[in-house]
Amino acid sequence: MRVLVVEDEKKTAAFVRKALQAEGFAVDVCHNGDEAWAGALTTPFDAIVLDIMLPGRDGLSLLRQLRQHSIATPVLLLSARGEVNERVDGLNAGADDYLPKPFVLAELVARVRALGRRGGESKPAVLQVADLRLDTLTRRAERRGVLIELTAREYRLLEFLMRSAGQICGRMAILEKVWDYSFDPGSNLVDVNVMRLREKIDADFEPKLLHTVRGLGYVIKEPS
């Protein structure tokens, strides 16, 4: 998978490049909008990570131009402003996802991976991590055959974590996908709900599946 990173801030660009390369992606970096425009026209990228504030052509106009030229490469917008309006503007301009700065690197990687997958594999109806099963059709969760009672919110949380099994899910991503908050409402809502979910799926069972990655987020994974 080949990714174009458009970010004028050199250090941030270097970190993003390193993190994406560590995932096995081929990464090209541009530091301004015009360079990126030339690159995107000539090279078929699988995903573009695009900062909004750029010298020369800014991210949003670049994005509009790409879409006008029927270049449908999935785009993840980055912005230091992180406001709802901007998110809506970005999605309207044709972005596929949006991440406010400062972001968790692991989350950026997860989102780029998701962009590359988009439209590819279909979502499985039954999710399984070790002996934890979640049937998304009947909305039933069970571990080792024992039915686990979940509230609506806990169900959505578990589904999101299990769909990204093995990947760290940042608080922001959880707030967005499970609570439909596109900004941090300033509460430890995610933490208390993960805690409650952990009590239900992990307290009476071994091995533990739901882990906290302090400073970064949460992950459901099989013990290696």
Partner 1 sequence: MTIRTWLTLWNASMLLVALLATGALAYYELVIEARPQAQGAQPAGKSAKEPAPADIIEIAMFCSIIPAVALALAGGWWVMRRTLAPVTALTQAAEQMNEHNLGTPLPRTGSGDELDRLTEVFNAMTARLNSAFARLREFTLHASHELKTPLTVMHAELENWLRDDRLATEQRQRVESQLDEIQRLAKIVDSLTLLTRADAGQVVLGREAVRLDDLLREALADAESLSQPAGVTATLEACDEVTILGDRHRLRQLLLNLCDNAVKYNQPGGKVTLELHRADARAELRISNTGRGIPPEVLPKVFDPFFRGDASHSQAVEGCGLGLSIARWIVTAHGGTIRIASEPGGLTSAIVGLPVPVDADRQKTS
- Residues forming contacts to partner 1 in the complex (CB under 8 A) are 9, 11-12, 15-16, 18-19, 80-85, 100-106, 151-153, 181-189, 192-193, 195-196, 213-216
Cβ closer to partner 1: 15 or 205? 15
Nearer to partner 1, 6 or 16 (CB): 16
In the chain, how long is the greatest CA-to-CA distance?
A: 59
Phi then psi for residue 58, to 5 deg, are -80, 165
Tell me how far, at minimum, the Cβ of 70 lies from partner 1, in Å. Answer: 30
Give the residue with the Cβ less far from partner 1, 90 or 100: 100
The token pair that represents 188 in the structure block: 């430890």
Helix, strand or coil, per DSSP, at residue 125? coil
Give the shortest CB-69-to-partner 1 separation in angstroms.
29
Q: How far is the CB of 52 from partner 1 (least distance, A)?
A: 11
Token pair of 175, please?
């707030």
User: CB of residue 43 vs partner 1: minimum separation in angstroms?
Assistant: 25
**Amino acid at position 95, single letter:** A
3-state DSSP call for residue 75? strand
Rounded to the nearest 5°, which phi and psi values hold at 100?
Answer: -80, 150
| Residue 24: alpha-carbon gap to chain centroid | 17
Nearer to partner 1, 43 or 151 (CB): 151
Q: Nearer to partner 1 by C-beta: 65 or 212?
A: 212
Residue 207: CB minimum distance to partner 1, A: 20
H/E stretch holding 212 reads: strand 210-213
Cis peptide before 207 (omega within 30 of 0): yes
